[in-house]
A and B are shown apart, each in its own frame.
Chain A
Amino acid sequence: MALTLMKGSEAIAEAAIRAGARFFFGYPITPQTEIPEYMSERMPEVGGCFLQAESEVAAINMVYGAAGTGARVITSSSSPGVSLKQEGISYCAGAQLPCVILNVMRGGPGLGNIQASQGDYFQGVKGGGNGDYHLLTYAPSSVQEAIDIMMFAFDKAEKYRMPVLFLADGIIAQMMEPVEMPEMVDYKVDPEKKPWACTGWKPGDDPAKRGVINSIFIDTESLSEHNEVLQEQYRLAKANEQMWECYKTEDAEFIITAFGTVARIGKTVVDQMRAEGHKVGLFRPITVWPYPYDALKAACCAPQVKGILDVEVNEGQMLEDVKLAVEGQKPIEFFGHFGSQFPTTGEIRNKILEMKEAM
């Protein structure tokens, strides 16, 4: 298939459409405004619906409304806007609504800046909204990977009946890369496959099949029953959906852990340092929920590993999961910036050399 040069945001938007998304609700915010802009042109061309909401709060609730009919629905925003969506995300999780949410992260807290960042890791994978819920959360590290994940994101959301979150740093949305765009998927709402959806129930039909999109379970027993249903889906997702990449970790003495764009910088460091004779590798989670703890542990706690360097564009958020996986078995250092400066290969290399010397 031919490669085309595409801007990340537009490629991700097009991939969503090819994956069957026909409804987009969003609100402008840098650095992802190209996504709603693209959708406003493209959705009508495929018979879909683009609607600019009055706020991110409204946008995610429009997602709730449209996803409740079984349609494939997507919304996108960036950090401050995703904060506003948290209420609705929690409701989608509670009501078991499949949908896709994009967070093109920028610097924070508050208004922060408009440059790329990874500061919403905690928000994405440790909660964000209220209650015991998770989102199937992907952290792509290239435009192509974002496209490829988008092509199965709705299937996963529907399989587990849970929202999928893309935790992408602003770089992925802003950079142009040659990509291969998959064929259009033919998606139609099938009431048989989505018996829970609002697809046209009428009095006289089986009462159990009436569409009731709801997250309130007022008595303790029914709420625990409902939460048990959610937890069972989370257990299944944990068992089946973990994705990660090990890059030259087999004989590595030092392993870089990183996600998203930072992992690409890390790979360059691995190659450069290997050319200099240092045995360096990289571990990159692709799903940050469920987090590939066992895979990380297997790679990072191998006998020859002397140290781990976690690199992020925040103050060390994923670091907590790296520590959970490593369980104190190996020394872990952190390197990062939190004003949206991306670490350079030189900075990462120096940090690894420092660790080496200190041993």
Chain B
Amino acid sequence: MAVVFERTKMLTDKQFHYCPGCNHGIIHRLVAESIDELIQEGKLEAGNVMGVAPVGCSVFAYDYFNCDMYEAAHGRAPAVATGAKRARPGTLVFTYQGDGDLASIGTAEIVHAAHRGEKIVTIFVNNAIYGMTGGQMAPTTLVGQKTTTSPHGRDEAWCGAPIKMSEMLSEVPGSYYIERCAVNTNANILKTKKAIKKAFQYQLEGKGFCMIEVLSTCPTNWGLSPVEAMKWLEENMIPYYPLGVKKDKGAE
């Protein structure tokens, strides 16, 4: 019988621990499939892949991606990836980070990895909340959004407006390719996959820092069903965080 679909080799057999309806699982698949395809296409040698997991709900990503993996301290994944990439320049290196990890505690590390034009790819999963610790406010939490530490909704006058990391990092001279995506529809899932694969391809060509931001749901801490969460993302996140290419030096 012909194989129509199979689990990508770049994911281990370990069962994801993510909540039902969480987008982390979809994004993992897209990352893993992209790497696997590059290997199948002969562009990347199997074994020349290293990933760095963050602190956040995807902390166990080292158990899911089927390659050499690191688990970094909260926010430090870009620095860890820098050390790994400098030590093994011929490998494909990626970080996978949440918005608390990347846009709060790890801002210095991500800005300077971009600034150095570090040849790594960052997958930035923005769910506008601290998922792992139970739903606290993140720098990306929308104005008015209720979290356990903004119980009356985020107050812009008190704690600022949500930070737009993709736009910000596009301004850093060393960044090469930055795109914001979402996985809320089939079309968007395909676009995200294309973006991730393009970023990896750029890295293989020795180009600079690439980041794919993926807007993601956290039904559990948003207090919504998986379907409602997708709708909330469409109606609230996408208008504030517009999808699309923010910077692509390769297309210039």
Contacts and interface: CB of A to CB of B under 8 A. Distances in A.
Interface of A: 23, 25, 49, 51, 53-55, 57-59, 61-69, 71, 73, 87-88, 91, 95, 198-205, 207, 210-216
Top 4 A-B pairs, shortest CB-CB distance: A65-B83, A61-B79, A198-B68, A211-B68
Nearest to B36: A203
Contact of A61 (B50, B73, B86, B87): B73
Given A201-B67, A213-B70, A68 B109 contact: no
Contact of A200 (B48, B52, B66): B48
A203 B87 contact: no
Contacts, number: 132
A63 B83 contact: yes
Given A61-B83, A213-B70, A214-B70, A202 B46 contact: yes
A66 B109 contact: no
Contact of B68 (A63, A67, A201): A201
Interface of B: 9-10, 12, 46-48, 50, 52, 59-60, 62-63, 66-73, 76, 79-88, 91, 108-109, 111-112, 115
B108 A198 contact: no
5 contacts: A54-B115, A65-B70, A65-B79, A203-B10, A215-B71
A202 B67 contact: yes
A57 B108 contact: yes
Which residue among A54, A62, A65, A200 has the maximum number of chain B CB atoms within 10 Å of its CB?
A65
Nearest to A199: B68
B76 A68 contact: no
Contacts of A215: 71
Contacts of A87: 73, 76
Contact of B83 (A23, A200, A203): A23
A68 to B, nearest CB: 6
Given A53-B79, A65-B80, A203 B9 contact: yes
Contacts of A216: 59-60, 71
Contact of B70 (A54, A55, A198): A198
A128 to B, nearest CB: 15
B59 A210 contact: no
B236 to A, nearest CB: 32
A58 B79 contact: yes
Contact of B62 (A73, A202, A214): A214
B56 to A, nearest CB: 12
Contacts of A66: 83-84, 86-87
A215 B74 CA distance: 12
A61 B72 contact: yes
B149 to A, nearest CB: 23
A205 B82 CA distance: 26
B6 to A, nearest CB: 13
B78 to A, nearest CB: 8
Nearest to B84: A65
B66 A203 contact: yes
A178 B52 CA distance: 45
A66 B66 CA distance: 20
A285 to B, nearest CB: 31
B79 A213 contact: no
A55 B75 CA distance: 13
Given A58-B108, A71-B87, A64 B72 contact: yes
A88 to B, nearest CB: 6
Contacts of B69: 198, 210-214
Given A200-B68, A215-B71, A64 B47 contact: no
A91 B83 contact: no
A201 B80 contact: no
A250 to B, nearest CB: 49
A18 B83 CA distance: 21
A62 B79 contact: yes
Contacts of B82: 51, 58, 61-62, 65
Contacts of B68: 198-201, 210-212
A74 B16 CA distance: 36
A69 B87 contact: yes
B71 A68 contact: no
A58 B76 contact: yes
A216 to B, nearest CB: 6
A204 B67 CA distance: 10
Which residue among B10, B59, B81, B88 has the maximum number of chain A CB atoms within 10 Å of its CB?
B88
B64 to A, nearest CB: 11
A62 B46 contact: no
Contact of B88 (A54, A198, A214): A198
Contact of A69 (B72, B88, B108): B88
Contacts of A23: 83, 86-87
A23 B87 CA distance: 8
